[in-house]
Chains A and B, each alone.
Chain A
Amino acid sequence: EDQVTQSPEALRLQEGESSSLNCSYTVSGLRGLFWYRQDPGKGPEFLFTLYSAGEEKEKERLKATLTKKESFLHITAPKPEDSATYLCAVTNFNKFYFGSGTKLNVKP
């Protein structure tokens, strides 16, 4: 069954405490893996696209990596403004498959 699983469901960090979010997938024929950030009451905001195993992308305190089975979103020295739900999605050109998201709360 094609699916995307994100873990943990929720993560509470102290400001400056680095951590990683996981996105594992069983979608066949991967053509792209996406990370989005969603703030309450808003639509998801695009962060990264990864296309092949070994690829890495960085943006400010965020770094996304991809293997054949999973992707990690590494957050280095997070700040309270990084608090949001982070969504992972995978496409095989037929459909998008979304995970349920990881709700990140960074406390000052």
Chain B
Amino acid sequence: GAGVSQSPSNKVTEKGKDVELRCDPISGHTALYWYRQSLGQGLEFLIYFQGNSAPDKSGLPSDRFSAERTGGSVSTLTIQRTQQEDSAVYLCASSPDYYGYTFGSGTRLTVV
């Protein structure tokens, strides 16, 4: 597609429920990042996929967070047993290399 697509754009969930956030990167982009941005805060790195290499999961805040990338394209970020502190905008970015990352518009997650 023309850009990075994220879905849903908004998600409201009850505390304790699991949620899945989807990212469709630009076709052919080998690198994919997940970030989250809490209100008024900077971007917090979560996880990084590069081609077929093992992902860099060093930014995942707890074992409730996991992500996968199928076929080197679509990525899904899963948050289990959501907590109120998980409320944030989750951003996905992709790149053909290490430069010129393109961000999606994000998924705004609200845990109530």
Cβ of A101 < 8 Å from any Cβ of B?
yes
Assess the B101–A96 pair: CB atoms within 8 A: yes
CB distance from A81 to the nearest CB of B (A): 19
Assess the A96–B45 pair: CB atoms within 8 A: yes
Which residues on A sit within 8 Å (CB–CB) of B56?
A: 94-95
Query: Which chain B residues in 35-71 approach chain A with CB under 8 Å?
Result: 35, 41-45, 48, 56, 58
Q: A93-B98, A96-B33 are in contact. Are A44 and B103 (CB under 8 A)?
A: yes
CB distance from A32 to the nearest CB of B (A): 6
Assess the B100–A46 pair: CB atoms within 8 A: yes
Cβ of B25 < 8 Å from any Cβ of A?
no
CB distance from A39 to the nearest CB of B (A): 10
Which residues on B sit within 8 Å (CB–CB) of A43?
A: 4, 91, 93, 103-106
CB distance from A10 to the nearest CB of B (A): 10
Chain A residue with Cβ nearest B108: A41
Assess the B91–A44 pair: CB atoms within 8 A: yes
Give A17-38 as 1s and 0s: 1 = Cβ < 8 Å from B's Cβ atoms: 0000000000000011010100
Cβ of A83 < 8 Å from any Cβ of B?
no
Assess the B98–A32 pair: CB atoms within 8 A: yes
Assess the B102–A98 pair: CB atoms within 8 A: no
Cβ of A76 < 8 Å from any Cβ of B?
no
Q: A42-B105, A43-B104 are in contact. Are A98 and B43 (CB under 8 A)?
A: yes
Q: Specify which of B4, B41, B45, B99 is in contact with A95 (CB 8 Å cutoff).
A: B45
Q: Known contacts A43-B106, A44-B91, A45-B103; can you find 18 more A-B pairs with CB under 8 A?
A: A6-B42, A34-B101, A36-B103, A43-B103, A44-B103, A46-B101, A46-B103, A49-B99, A49-B100, A87-B42, A95-B45, A95-B56, A95-B58, A96-B33, A96-B45, A96-B101, A97-B45, A101-B42
